[in-house]
Structure 1
Amino acid sequence: MAYGSPYDPYGGYGSDRERKAWERQQAQAAAEQRDRQAAFATDEIEERVAELENLLRSSLGRDPRIEVSSFYRRAEVPPLDLGALAFPNPAPAWNPPAEPAGVARMFGGKKRYEEELRLAQQQFAQAEEDYLRAEAAREQHIARKHQEHQDAVEQAECLAAEANAQIDGWLARVREGDRLAVSEYMEEVLRRSGYPSSFPNQRQAGYVPESTRLVVQWYLPPIEAVPEQKAYRHIKSRKAIEPTVRPVKEIRKLYQSVIAQIALRTVREVFAASSEELISTVVFNGVVRAVSPETGQRIDAPLISMRATRDQFARLILDEPKFNPVACVRKHFFADVSEHPDELVAVKPVMTFDMADPRIIDPVDVISELDKRPNLLDLTPTEFEAFIQNLFARMGYDTKLFRASGDRGVDCVAYDTDPLKGGRLIIQAKLYTHTVKPNHVRELWGTVESEGALKGIMITTSGYGPESERFANGKRLTLIDASGLLSLCQQHDIPARIVNRNKNGKTPPDAQ
């Protein structure tokens, strides 16, 4: 019989009043259970939202720098296990036959004893010989085991030493600012940054030594990471638990906060894990992999793009309670954040990742004598300007090259013929081997303003400093350094390289 039930197995139900009271109790217990389930489900949703809202703040106490020792390999060989060989065989024991006494000696006992003793001695001698032979074999086997283990240890130590020597070389290249080594190191830094397990873990870093810039391409979680449900309610009239739907506007706002936090957190970790001399600027591109509702094909849609210099970032107080990540990236860094990420409305990246990807750009050619690609540093400034004009023509622009005299800071003009988004682009070409000075970038902006151009583009065979990057932020300026130039050449099948052969300090004449 159920506890509290008025049912009697011998007499059926009790009184009608008892039965109804019991049913009310059961209904109340079920309602309370549904209340608890709704509250539990709501708590789970709120915990997920709190995790998303605190992606940046929760990481501020973590030092992203990598302990160098974690890269090194140890010679790990299991300890020698001899098993049964570790225990000697039991030595044979001498058990002589009992010597007859008294009457037994008179009736041939002595002779039998002597025979038994002789036989026992023979057996004992054979047992001792077998024992010594078995012990010698055991010791030989042990010696082989020790030698095999020692060989395994030495081999493991040798392999570890070789691997660690490679790591030493790799770390030295990181410190020297090697393009590929720094890119790999920073990818490892970002890989170790703990995010929710449901987030994609693909992150790419491309280092541009000419501009001490790191370009990060981060694959963002889809907007479905923000829970569609806001809470769960117990609808007593239907005896059901139903979700409260989160408004699209709220989903969009929270998702924008998520991607802005990821951008800021990434920039903080990059700067914290590197020196000022190594990385002065970070470009962050956050893309989401999705299926285009228009074409039905997979796309990588950029939803946020920002550029930050180290001194800009140092001024932020990230643990301020009222800190607004989206407002910060937009107003302080002039970042472009998708207004409608739920509709995959893409933004234009500050700089595409392929213009910094070290795996496809090889500006420094060790065996330059064998490389038949033309070296751009062998051109004269006038030839370089003509080269840039040809490059933009290959890219589909209508171009015109200006004469050196009276060009008003314009080397080339390219026209984008798109009737909606097109216009005039003012291009300056700098055949440099040293960093472009900020005043050149400011002068280009002045020309763009006075000419009413759509955009100003500066292209150099060297790089830009953080002051130039900071000045260009939020303006209609695009700065293309040596890596970006080579990337554009590669994309449009133009053979080119940038190799400074003058190691004695003499450099090609710089374009003015």
Structure 2
Amino acid sequence: MARRSGLMATIAREAARQARISEAERKRYEREQIRIAKEQQRQHIQNEKDAKLRYIESRIEETDDLNYELAERIKDLYGILDHTLQVNDMVSFNSLKINEKFRDFIVPTSISVPLTKPQLDDYINKIKSPNLFTKLIPGFEKKYQSALIEAKQQYENGLVLYEAKENERLVAKDRLKSEYDQEKYMFEIKVRDRNLEIDAFEESYRNGEREAIIDYNAMVLERSEYPAGFPQIFRLAYISDSKELVIDYELPNKDIVPTTMEYRYVKTKDEISEKFRKIQEIKNMYSDVVAGVTLRTIHEVLEADQGNVIDVVVFSAYVHSVDPATGKDSMPYLISIRVTKEKFEGLDLNRVEKSVCLRNLGAQVSPRPTELQAVKPILEFDMVDKRFVEHEDMLGSLQGLPNLMELNPYEFEMLVTDLFARMGLDAKLTRSSKDGGVDCVAFDTRPIVGGKVVIQAKRYKNTVGVSAVRDLYGTMLNEGANKGILVTTKSYGPDAYEFAKDKPIELIDGGGLLYLLEKNGINARIIFE
């Protein structure tokens, strides 16, 4: 019994030991699981922190990108004039031609390499020739001769197949060559016609033909690269007598200026907020845009004037808007300027202050362009009348219309007097001058803006110079008039415009006179004999 009790005690002790070992293993496993769970939790928290940090960094980077784009936009707006000063605006007529050569004739490999012609020996050499031993074998010679016949037949068949495929190859090659020659011929015809057209265009331009000059300057302005949002819509006209280019240009509206001054990321709200630009700053920037487009456009056409066909540029710019009072579309003009080439080329555009420069050039500028306060264009675009041309160009199409050049001085002075009377002025004819013109004193009866107006007409065949404008200005001073108007059947020289630019004088040339007459029910023409 004692031995049995000792065995049981040993078994019990072993069981207890194993239980302790199992319990220890279980506790170690639980501790390991807890450790792993805590490690996973710490890693999860770290991952969340890293993800949140990366997210915040991405939002900050997004904000930086917005500010960079905003800064580039502002830089582009302020650099409208500077941009064009870095490029040559002249259009090379040679660049308008087709100068590239037609592609070379390349034959595909599949038909470029001649096929290998079958050779009889290649077929015969495959047959084992008889020797002394094989000649003794009955029937061998017969078999050999039969094989020779078959080989020759195979050669003939191969030769027929070769000739057929080689013919197909040559036909395909000839077809490709024929197609290539036809395409090359059509290309050369196109090149010849295009280049002859460009040569004729250049000749017309250099000869001072109106349509060619308009087309050339349209290309100059169309090639001008502006930031996004600029309409780049314009109309051009050209007055040959005074070598005057008239530009009617559409400006972007004030929305072209970003209202946002800066973007900021607010971490606590997780949002990108905007700091808005001051209203006065928006007004100043938009005024700078208007001035920049004006100076840039004039610079471009004058720099590109390789034919020396422009002496004067008239630039007027407007915006498309809606009249808040009527709800109808309106086109208020925000700037208008007439400047001579000589004076403009004397400017250093790299150093000028744009607004001051324009005032010095006598530009009429809206004092509040963001509010669309309009100015009167120096020259109504529609007043550049196409009927005002030389006799040989338009005589046949103008039959039945009175020629103002055929009127005597008295008839012409009455016509001018009646015209301004119809336009609402109290016009009174005073006296005729020796040169056939007319001095007329009129009164604009509107309060505040009205007053005494001196009108003088010049029925001239030649360009009116500065002396006539000086005479009118002297008459104004003598009469105590508020305004002077000079009307001519011809055109004005650059010096006349320069003298009148900062004075209350309006110059109406032949095209403008015809336009005003038509608007008031009088259809006429001007033909120089």
TM-score (norm 1): 0.84
Choose the corresponding residue for 2:468, options 440, 459, 468: 440
In structure 2, C-alpha distance between the alignment counterparts of 1:435 and 1:105, rounded to whole Å = 123
Asked whether the equivalents of residues 387 and 394 of structure 2 are also in contact (C-alpha less than 8 Å), the reply is no
Give the deviation of 1:107 after TM superposition.
3.5
The secondary structure found in structure 2 opposite 1:283 is strand
Post-superposition CA distance 1:356-397 (Å, at most 9, x none)? 37xx55623525245313333333333333333444455555
In structure 1, C-alpha distance between the alignment counterparts of 2:306 and 2:233, rounded to whole Å = 24
1:63 aligns with 2:88: yes
In structure 2, the residue matched to 1:85 is 111
Post-superposition CA distance 1:153-196 (Å, at most 9, x none)? 23322232222222222211211221121111112112222211
Choose the corresponding residue for 2:347, options 301, 309, 316: 316
In structure 1, C-alpha distance between the alignment counterparts of 2:371 and 2:148, rounded to whole Å = 103
In structure 2, the residue matched to 1:306 is 337
The secondary structure found in structure 1 opposite 2:183 is helix
1:475 aligns with 2:506: no
Q: 1:91 to 1:275 in 2, by over 3 A?
A: closer
Q: 1:288 to 1:361 in 2, by over 3 A?
A: farther
Choose the corresponding residue for 1:328, options 353, 357, 362: 357
1:111 aligns with 2:142: yes
Asked whether the equivalents of residues 210 and 481 of structure 1 are also in contact (C-alpha less than 8 Å), the reply is no
Which residue identity does 1:326 align to in structure 2?
Answer: S
In structure 1, C-alpha distance between the alignment counterparts of 2:421 and 2:157, rounded to whole Å = 100
Which residue identity does 1:189 align to in structure 2?
Answer: V
Farther-moved stretch of structure 1 (334-343 vs 389-398): 389-398
Post-superposition CA distance 1:406-450 (Å, at most 9, x none)? 999853445545456444443222222211120101111222333
Farther-moved stretch of structure 1 (275-284 vs 388-397): 388-397
Asked whether the equivalents of residues 363 and 486 of structure 1 are also in contact (C-alpha less than 8 Å), the reply is no
Give the deviation of 1:214 after TM superposition.
1.2
In structure 1, C-alpha distance between the alignment counterparts of 2:197 and 2:48, rounded to whole Å = 76
The secondary structure found in structure 2 opposite 1:267 is helix
The secondary structure found in structure 1 opposite 2:334 is strand
Choose the corresponding residue for 1:462, options 490, 500, 506: 490
The secondary structure found in structure 2 opposite 1:43 is helix
In structure 2, C-alpha distance between the alignment counterparts of 1:458 and 1:307, rounded to whole Å = 16
Superposed CA RMSD = 3.4
1:340 aligns with 2:368: yes
Which residue identity does 1:366 align to in structure 2?
Answer: D
In structure 2, C-alpha distance between the alignment counterparts of 1:213 and 1:163, rounded to whole Å = 29
Which residue identity does 1:207 align to in structure 2?
Answer: Y
Which residue identity does 1:379 align to in structure 2?
Answer: L
Q: Which runs of no fewer than 5 residues in structure 2 stay unpaired?
A: 1-33
Q: 1:489 to 1:276 in 2, by over 3 A?
A: farther
TM-score (norm 2): 0.81
In structure 1, the residue matched to 2:232 is 201
In structure 1, the residue matched to 2:162 is 131
Using the aligned pairs only, state the percent identity: 34
In structure 2, the residue matched to 1:156 is 187
Farther-moved stretch of structure 1 (166-175 vs 19-28): 19-28
In structure 2, C-alpha distance between the alignment counterparts of 1:404 and 1:13, rounded to whole Å = 107
In structure 1, the residue matched to 2:13 is none
Which one has the largest radius of gyration?
Answer: 2
In structure 2, C-alpha distance between the alignment counterparts of 1:408 and 1:422, rounded to whole Å = 28
Asked whether the equivalents of residues 213 and 279 of structure 1 are also in contact (C-alpha less than 8 Å), the reply is yes
Asked whether the equivalents of residues 436 and 459 of structure 2 are also in contact (C-alpha less than 8 Å), the reply is no
In structure 2, the residue matched to 1:192 is 223
In structure 2, the residue matched to 1:366 is 393
Asked whether the equivalents of residues 363 and 497 of structure 1 are also in contact (C-alpha less than 8 Å), the reply is no
Give the deviation of 1:208 after TM superposition.
1.2
Q: Which runs of no fewer than 5 residues in structure 1 stay unpaired?
A: 1-6, 502-512
User: 5 Å matches for 1:264-413?
Assistant: 264-274=295-305, 277-320=308-351, 323-330=352-359, 332-356=360-384, 360-361=386-387, 363-364=389-390, 366=393, 368-369=395-396, 371-372=398-399, 373-393=401-421, 395=423, 397-404=425-432, 410-413=438-441
Give the deviation of 1:299 after TM superposition.
2.5
Which residue identity does 1:474 align to in structure 2?
Answer: D
Give the deviation of 1:134 after TM superposition.
3.9
In structure 1, the residue matched to 2:37 is 10
Post-superposition CA distance 1:245-301 (Å, at most 9, x none)? 111111011110111011112222222221695212111112112233333333222
The secondary structure found in structure 2 opposite 1:427 is strand
In structure 2, C-alpha distance between the alignment counterparts of 1:58 and 1:485, rounded to whole Å = 39
Q: 1:25 to 1:134 in 2, by over 3 A?
A: closer
Which residue identity does 2:67 align to in structure 1?
Answer: T
Post-superposition CA distance 1:300-332 (Å, at most 9, x none)? 221111121123223322222xx32112212x1
Asked whether the equivalents of residues 443 and 450 of structure 2 are also in contact (C-alpha less than 8 Å), the reply is yes
In structure 1, C-alpha distance between the alignment counterparts of 2:226 and 2:295, rounded to whole Å = 14
The secondary structure found in structure 1 opposite 2:80 is coil
Asked whether the equivalents of residues 232 and 244 of structure 1 are also in contact (C-alpha less than 8 Å), the reply is yes
In structure 1, C-alpha distance between the alignment counterparts of 2:73 and 2:246, rounded to whole Å = 30
The secondary structure found in structure 2 opposite 1:262 is helix
Q: 1:325 to 1:367 in 2, by over 3 A?
A: closer
Asked whether the equivalents of residues 437 and 458 of structure 2 are also in contact (C-alpha less than 8 Å), the reply is no
The secondary structure found in structure 2 opposite 1:56 is helix
The secondary structure found in structure 2 opposite 1:443 is helix
Which residue identity does 1:368 align to in structure 2?
Answer: L
In structure 1, the residue matched to 2:79 is 54
Q: 1:367 to 1:481 in 2, by over 3 A?
A: closer
In structure 2, C-alpha distance between the alignment counterparts of 1:317 and 1:481, rounded to whole Å = 31
1:174 aligns with 2:174: no
Give the deviation of 1:69 after TM superposition.
0.8
Q: 1:108 to 1:412 in 2, by over 3 A?
A: farther
In structure 2, C-alpha distance between the alignment counterparts of 1:498 and 1:455, rounded to whole Å = 26
User: 5 Å matches for 1:219-234?
Assistant: 219-234=250-265
Q: 1:73 to 1:378 in 2, by over 3 A?
A: farther
Q: Hey, which of these two has a bigger chunk of helix by percent?
A: 2
The secondary structure found in structure 1 opposite 2:338 is strand
The secondary structure found in structure 1 opposite 2:319 is strand
Q: 1:491 to 1:79 in 2, by over 3 A?
A: farther
Give the deviation of 1:78 after TM superposition.
4.2
